[in-house]
C-alpha cells in the first residue's frame, strides 16, 4: 500500500504517505463548492506532472554532470466542463542561468517530456511544457 486518504468532512481530505508519514490536505476548489484552503485533487495532479518532470530532469542532470539546482516550475491548470476534468496543464520551467549547451538543453527537455506522470495522463489532457533558459 502506498497511502491512505481520510475524508475529514466539508470537502476536505488528508492523504498520508505510509513510508514517510508525510501528510497532504486537499480541499475542493472555489468553483466546485470548496474553500480552496489547500491544493485541490486536480491541483495535485497538475503539480505532480511538474514535480515528476523535474525529478526525471534531475536524474538526467545527475547522469550528465549538469547542475539544475534552483530550477523551478510554474504550473497552470485549465479545467473543462461536461465532464469536469483537467483539459490542459501548462508548465513553465525556469532554469538557472548555467549556460547550458543546446545538447544539454535537449537532454533536459526530453527528460521532462518523458516522465511517468506525463505518460500516465489521459491523451485528452494537453501538456504544454515551456523552458526559460
Residues 78 and 27 in one domain: no
| Nearest 10 degrees: Cα torsion 93, 96, 99, 100 | -40
Residues 6 and 26 in one domain: yes
Residues 35 and 45 in one domain: no
Q: Which residue range forms the structural domain that includes residue 62?
A: 40-132
Residues 109 and 59 in one domain: yes
pLDDT at position 11: 98
Residues 30 and 52 in one domain: no
Residues 30 and 44 in one domain: no
User: How many other CB atoms are there within 10 angstroms of residue 45's CB atom?
Assistant: 17
Per-residue pLDDT of the chain (133 residues; tens, 9 = 90+): 999 999 999 999 999 999 999 999 999 999 999 999 999 999 999 999 999 999 999 999 999 999 999 999 999 999 999 999 999 999 999 999 999 999 999 999 999 999 999 999 999 999 999 999 9
pTM of the model: 0.94
pLDDT at position 96: 97
pLDDT at position 73: 98
Residues 33 and 83 in one domain: no
Cell numbers that stand for 83 in this block: 465532464
pLDDT at position 86: 98
pLDDT at position 30: 93
Number of domains making up the chain:
2
Q: What is the 3-state secondary structure (H, E, C) of 9-59?
A: ECCEEEEEECCCCCEEEEECCHHHCCCCCCCCHHHHHHHHHHHHHHHHHHH
Alpha carbons 92 and 76: distance in angstroms, whole number: 9
Q: Residue 100 is part of a domain; what is its CATH number?
A: 3.30.300.20
Residues 94 and 58 in one domain: yes
Long-range contacts of 124-127 (CB under 8 A, 24+ apart): 124/85, 124/87, 125/85, 125/86, 125/87, 125/88, 125/89, 126/87, 126/88, 126/89, 127/49, 127/88, 127/89, 127/91
Amino acid at each position: 500500500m502506498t497511502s491512505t486518504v481520510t475524508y475529514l468532512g466539508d470537502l476536505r481530505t488528508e492523504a498520508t504517505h505510509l513510508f514517510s508519514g508525510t501528510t497532504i490536505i486537499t480541499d475542493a476548489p472555489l468553483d466546485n463548492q470548496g474553500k480552496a484552503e489547500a491544493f485541490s485533487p486536480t491541483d495535485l495532479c497538475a503539480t505532480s506532472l511538474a514535480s515528476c518532470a523535474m525529478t526525471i530532469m534531475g536524474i538526467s542532470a545527475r547522469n550528465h554532470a549538469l547542475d539544475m539546482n534552483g530550477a523551478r516550475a510554474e504550473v497552470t491548470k485549465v479545467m473543462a466542463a461536461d465532464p469536469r476534468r483537467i483539459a490542459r496543464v501548462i508548465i513553465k520551467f525556469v532554469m538557472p542561468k548555467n549556460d547550458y549547451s543546446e545538447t544539454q538543453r535537449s537532454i533536459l527537455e526530453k527528460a521532462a517530456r518523458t516522465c511517468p506522470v506525463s505518460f500516465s495522463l489521459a491523451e485528452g489532457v494537453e501538456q504544454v511544457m515551456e523552458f526559460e533558459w
